Structure 1
Amino acid sequence: MNLSATLLLAFGMSMDAFAASIGKGATLHKPRFTEALRTGLIFGVIEAITPLVGWTLGQVATHFVMEWNHWVAFVLLVFLGARMIIEGVRGCGEDDMAPLRRHSFWLLVTTAFATSLDAMAVGVGLAFLQVNILYTALAIGCATLIMSTLGMMVGRFIGPLLGKRAEILGGLVLIGIGCQILWSHFAG
C-alpha cells in the first residue's frame, strides 16, 4: 500500500472519532485546547492499537471478528448515546449546575473503543495484504489524534449555540454512528 492510500485509509478511519469528538466538545463548557488534545490523544492511541489487534486476530480468527465487530460497536455506541441523551434531558431543567469542563477518562476510552472497532476490522483485512501494519496503525492513530482534537474544538463553538441540548445532540450523533456501522455491514 502506497503513502497516499495509507493516508486516505487513516483519515477515513478517523471520521467516526471526529464526529464523536464534535459531540463531546459540544457538551463541555468551553473546552480548552489541552482538553481537546487529551481527547485526541486518547482517541488516537486507541485507534492506533485496534488495527494492530485486528491484524493479530486476522492471523488467527478472521471469521469470528468480522461476524461480530459491527454488533459490538453498535451496542456500545447506542448505550453511550442513550446515556448522553438521558443526561441531557435530565440536565435541561437544572440551570444551577456547574458546567461540565472535562469528560472522564473511562468515558472517553469507551467512546474511542466503540468508534475504533471499524479500524480493528480493517486490521483484520490488512492481515492478508502486504502492508507494514505498524506504519499503517501509526498513520491511523495520528490522523485520529488530529481529527479528534479538531472535532473537540469545532464542538466548542457548536456547544454554546445549542446550550443544554448539546449533550442530547452528542448522544444522537453516537447512536447515528452506531446505526451507520450496522447499516454498512448489512448493506454491503
Structure 2
Amino acid sequence: MAFALGMDAFSIGLGMGMFRMGWRRVLLIGMTVGLFHILMPLLGMAGGRFLSGTFGTFAGYAGGILLIILGIQMLITGLKGSGDSLIAPVGFGMIVFALSVSLDSFSVGLTLGIYGAKTVLVLVCFGTAAALLTWAGLLLGKRVQGMLGKYSVLLGGAILFAFGIKLLGIERLFL
C-alpha cells in the first residue's frame, strides 16, 4: 500500500524534476514529501470512522485540482519561454507539491484507523516509500530535463495536468 501511494509522488516528481534544481533541493523535496506522507495518514488515522466517507472523496478532488493548477502554471511558463515560475518546487510550491501527493494517504489513513492498523509501522512505510519514490521521480525528471532542454517544462506541466485530470476522474471528457 505504501508503494502504491508513493507512486503518485514518483509520477509527479517526474514532472517537477524538469525544473532546474540542485541536489540539495531534490533531497529537501523528497524529505518534505516523506514527512507529509507521515503526517497525512496520521491525521487520517486520528480522524477515525466518522470522517472516512466525507474526506475520502474530497482528498482525491483537492489533489487533482492542485495538480491541474501546477500543470497549467508550468505549461504557461514553458509557452512564454520565461524561466520565472509562479509555482516552483521551493517554498510554498514545495508545500503544494507535497500536499497534493499526500492527500490520498489521508483517506487511506482514515480507513486504516478504522481497522486498527499498527500506526508506527504504517507511518514509517508510507514516509519511506514516498521519499524514495519522490527522489527517483525527481532524479529521472532531472535527467530528462537535460535531454529535452526548454521543452522539459512543457512536458512536466503536461504530466502534472494529466495526472490531475486522472485524479478527478474526468479523463473521459478528453478522450
Q: Shift of residue 167 of structure 1?
A: 1.3
Do structure 1's residue 11 and structure 2's residue 3 form an aligned pair? yes
Alpha-carbon deviation of 1:142? 0.9
Equivalent residue, structure 2, for 1:151 = 137
The residue correspondences of 1:53-92 to structure 2 (distance < 5 A) are 53-91=43-81
Distance in 1 between residues matched to 2:164 and 2:119, nearest whole Å: 26
In structure 2, C-alpha distance between the alignment counterparts of 1:130 and 1:61, rounded to whole Å? 15
Query: Is the CA contact (8 Å cut-off) linking 1:36 and 1:150 kept in structure 2?
Result: no
Is 1:26 paired with 2:18?
yes
**Per-residue CA distance 1:12-65 (angstroms, 9 max, x = gap):** 11111111111111221xx43322111101111111111111212234422211
**RMSD, aligned α-carbons:** 2.1
- Say whether the 8 Å CA contact 2:36–2:98 is kept in structure 1: yes
**TM-score of the superposition, structure 2-length normalised?**
0.87
Among all aligned residue pairs of Structure 1 and Structure 2, give the percentage whose two residues are the same amino acid: 26
Q: Stretches of 4+ moved more than 3 A in 1? A: none
Structure 1, 55-64 or 155-164: larger mean CA deviation: 55-64
Q: Is the 8 A contact 2:49 2:111 kept in 1?
A: no
CA distance in 2, matches of 1:138, 1:65: 23
Larger radius of gyration, structure 1 or 2? 1
- The aligned counterpart of 2:163 is 177
**Deviation sequence 1:107-148 (CA, Å, 0-9, x none):** 011011011111111111111213112320221111111111
Q: Tell me how many residue pairs correspond in the alignment.
A: 168
Give how far 1:157 is off: 0.9
**Equivalent position SS for 1:127:** helix
Q: Which residue of 1 aligns with 2:36?
A: 46
